[in-house]
Amino acid sequence: MSIVFRHGYRGLVHASILLFFQFVFGLVTPLAAQEAATQAPTAKVQQFIELLDDPDVRQWLAAKQTTATAAVMPPAGHASRLVAGIRRHLSGMRQAVPRVVPEWIAARERIAHELKNGVTRPIVWGLSLVLIVGYAAEFLTRYALRRSARRRAAEPGLGLAAFIRIAPLVVFAIAAVATFAHTGWPSRLEAAVAPLVIAWIGARLVSAVAWAAMEPRYTGSGAPEDRAGAPGPKVVLFWYRRSVPFIYAMAFTWAVVDMMQALALPADVRDLTAAVLGLVVLGMAIDAVVRRPVVELTVGRRITRNSLIIALLALLWLLWAAGLKVLFWVGVFALILPPLLRFTTVATRSMLDTKAADYIPMTRNVLIDRGIRLLIVALAAAWLAIVFQLHGSPVIQGDVAKHIFRGVLAAVIILLVADFVWQLTKEFIDLHLKWATMESMDSAQLARNMRVRTLLPILRNFLAAVVAVTTGITVLSALGVHVGPLIAGAGVFGVAIGFGSQTLVKDVISGIFYMMDDAFRVGEYIQSGSYMGTVESFSIRSVRLRHHRGPVFTVPFGSLGAVQNMSRDWVIDKFTINVAYDSDVAKVKKVVKGVGATLLEDPELAPLIIETVKMKGVEQFGDYGITLGFAMTTKPGHQTQVRRRAQALIKDAFKTYGIHFASPTVQVAGDEAQSSMAAAAMTRDTIAKKNAALAAQQGGEAAAE
């Protein structure tokens, strides 16, 4: 259905163009007979007629006629001059209604005179040659590209498919223009036909670019539909089918108006024709607005929104008909640029590699995404500048209006360039942060990654502030504001803020020095005074700590003071165990050594252990047993996990080898005398065991020395 629609539409357009030329430039039999029947004017009369047809001569005569009236009238204000200009423009269009057909006939006669009595090649044959050569070159290029793509096993990607669709049209444009340039048209006829050829080429190129942008959404190969702002296939197909005739109508309108100027038709006739063709374009736009698929709005809101859009479109046509071209194009761009930029963003991102993990793909993504937005707005600004220069009324051609207009355009371009630079910088930082989040077994690389995750977010915030301030100052300068006093005033204001906000300044400066000293990084566990927790993030003035039990502390840098970092390099964990006095200390040491070997064999815990658990010796003698000290070295943050496993293994090993843990023992006797004797005996026994253990320890230390 779409193929039949496209081919039928192209045939209809071609037939319309040929009929248009046959109607406008039908110079074969009627004009030849007319020239044979009438007597050729003399050379001076013909020269006088040509001078009267010259637009410059007409403008000079009109200016001479109004000189006397303008000399006696008092100077008018800007508003009155604007209203008077609109009134003259509309009055000229009204008076041009009966002169449209005679002016076209006069243009045909002028071209007939240049064609040397109508014996040269007809216009239709020349245009046919241009189109045949262009379409032949396009067909051969498309055939070669598709054949080259079919040789590849894989299906061409979105970018290659768009290239296959657009490149043949570029070849068509080159071939058609080259053929047109070498055909040998008469000067006036060439100036009249060239706008139509350029309009046809431009409309085809714009339509192809629109299809290349909309095809991924229509075929379902683009971004998912649940993405914010992403239209569905039906919406895309609707707007494509509506935009193609609209593009051709706009191109045809421009071509006809430009052709009329080349044929020296009066300005009022050109304005009337442009207004009538603008009505056709307005009707197409209103039809698209009314029929557009919008399902999320209620009937009342839809009617209200459609009414507002139609009123705005009608206002744009009135501006066009009144000759206010600058205001017309400002309104057009204000209406179409926001949705066009949104759709362009969705369409380009559907073609990009969102998982790019290298500099080149990342840079390409930013260049395509933001570069296209910058290009669209830059072209719109350039077109507005051209329209302002060529069609600006005397009211807005003053120095103040020119300065404001140029300043606004420059400000828009500056904002877009700043956005492009910021997006490129942000993507570069995000790429490094993405690399820093990858797991690595190298401790040095882990340390570097943690430092990157700490510093790059702060750098990103700082660069955002720099770009924003620089862009603001540049925009103000482009608008004509003297930024020197502003900068000086900002300096004085900054000094006042510095004196009034010493705590804030202290926090910021302290944070800078903490970062320079590399005191802590994101992901490390620190303690400062009564605050402790894992560092989650930074701001310019504070650090965010997550306590191991859940609470979050936001601590200003100026309040941190001395920082105890518990996550650097390694951690020594110590613990004690009480055993009975009758336990063999040497045997305990051997058992713990075996436990340490078992820990090193554990595949889960071995990577976390730097030095396995060992018994350091007897720490002290308690009332009911001997206190033994143990220690091990692990990676930061994993000491608790290793200690729990080690203590569980020690318990099982003590049970296996008959080593008993110390426990309080109370003996209760029958009478007081026996109780006293039992207590005395227990005391003597305890003292004897202490002395024996102390002597054994001293003997072991002496032997070790």
Average pLDDT over residues 64-88: 58
- pLDDT one-digit tens code per residue, 137-172: 888 888 888 777 777 655 556 667 777 778 888 888
- d(CA 105, CA 93) in angstroms, rounded, equals 18
SS3 of 325, please?
Answer: helix
- pLDDT one-digit tens code per residue, 600-616: 888 888 888 888 998 98
**Total residue length of the chain:** 705
> What pLDDT score does 630 carry?
93
Average pLDDT over residues 651-660: 89
Nearest to 581 by CA among 669, 705, 682, 704: 682
For the chain, the first-to-last Cα distance in angstroms comes to 101
Average pLDDT over residues 211-219: 63
> What pLDDT score does 225 carry?
44
Nearest to 354 by CA among 521, 234, 241, 227: 227
Query: DSSP string spanning 382-406?
Result: HHHHHHHHHH--TTTTSHHHHHHHH
Query: Which of 203-207, 449-453, 598-602 shows the lowest per-residue confidence on average (mean pLDDT)?
Result: 449-453
- The b/e string for 517-554 (b: 16+ C-beta within 10 A; e otherwise) is eebbbbebbbebeebbbbbeebbebbbbbbeeeeeebe
> What pLDDT score does 152 carry?
66
Query: DSSP string spanning 11-34?
Result: HHHHHHHHHHHHHHS--SHHHHHH
pTM of the model: 0.55
Is the pLDDT at 515 greater than 60? The verdict is yes
Residues 572 and 621: beta-carbon distance below 8 Å: no
pLDDT band for position 46 (50/70/90)? low
Average pLDDT over residues 617-623: 86
- d(CA 536, CA 538) in angstroms, rounded, equals 7
Q: Which residue has the higher pLDDT, 63 or 286?
A: 286
Helix, strand, coil percentages for the chain (3-state, nearest 5):
70, 10, 20
> What pLDDT score does 3 carry?
42
Contacts of residue 211, defined as CB under 8 A and 6 or more positions apart, other chains included, come to 165, 240
> What pLDDT score does 26 carry?
45
Q: How many CB atoms within 10 Å of residue 615?
A: 21
pLDDT band for position 36 (50/70/90)? very low
Is the pLDDT at 6 greater than 50? The verdict is no
Q: Find residue 488's DSSP bridge partners.
A: none
| Amino acid identity, position 334 | A
